[in-house]
Amino acid sequence: MEKFTTLTSIAAPLDRANVDTDAIIPKQFLKSIKRSGFGPNLFDEWRYEDHGEVGMDNSKRPLNKEFVLNKDEYQGAQILLARENFGCGSSREHAPWALEDYGFKAIIAPSFADIFYNNCFKNGILPIVQDNKIMDELFTVKGDITIDLNTQSIRANDKEYHFEVDEERKRRLMNGLDDIGLTLQYADDIKAFEVQYFKNYSWL
C-alpha cells in the first residue's frame, strides 16, 4: 500500500447523496477477488450509456458526456467530493478497490457508511468528513485542493479546513501499512515464536 502524506490534485465533484456500493461498482463486476482491474468500471452505469458486463472493451463503449468523470477538466482527479452517506448499501470491499484502481486517493463527504469508511483505510484511501457548509465551499473550487494528513488539513481557495482522523489509522496510512503490512512488521517475532514453539512441542 502506498504511503499517504500530502496530496495535491483537482477534485471531481460528485454532487449526489446516498451513493451506494452498487453504483460505485455494479454487482456483475464482483467475480474477481483481485484488487486491481476495477477502475474502468467505476460508476459504470453512470459513466457509460450502455449496460456493462465483464470482459467488454470499455474503450469502445459510448460515454455519458454529462457524467463528471467523463469531463475533460476532471481527468486525473485524485480527490472525490461527495454528499451525505457515501458508500451505503452492501459491504463489498470491491467499492474502495474500484476507487483506488481508478486513481482516487481521498474522498471528502459529510458522512460515510461505516463499513465503507473502514474499508477505505484498509485500501489506502483517506475518507475525510466535512460538514455541509464546507462541502458547499469545496464544490466551488476550480483549482487544486491540497490535503496534508500530518497536519490534518485541507487547503483550497486560500482557506484551510481541519479534519479529524483516528491516530492509528493515520499512522498506518502515513506508513503505507495495510493489515498484511502491519503483521509483517512483526515477522521476526513470529518466526522466533514458531521456532521455539516447535522446539518445545516437537511431536506436533
**Residue 197: per-residue pLDDT:** 65
Residues 159 and 137: their CA atoms lie apart, in Å, by 10
**Residue 131: per-residue pLDDT:** 97
Q: What is the homologous superfamily of the domain 6-200 according to CATH?
A: Aconitase, domain 4 (3.20.19.10)
pLDDT digits (tens, 9 = 90+) for 148-169: 999 999 999 999 999 999 999 9
Sheet holding 6-9, edge to edge: 6-9, 145-148, 153-156, 159-162
8 Å CB contact between 156 and 19: no
8 Å CB contact between 149 and 165: yes
Q: What is the pTM of this model?
A: 0.88
pLDDT confidence band for 203 (50 / 70 / 90): confident
> Which secondary structure element, helix H or strand E, spans residue 11, and what is its range?
strand 11-13
Which DSSP letter does residue 184 get? H
Residues 105 and 3: their CA atoms lie apart, in Å, by 10
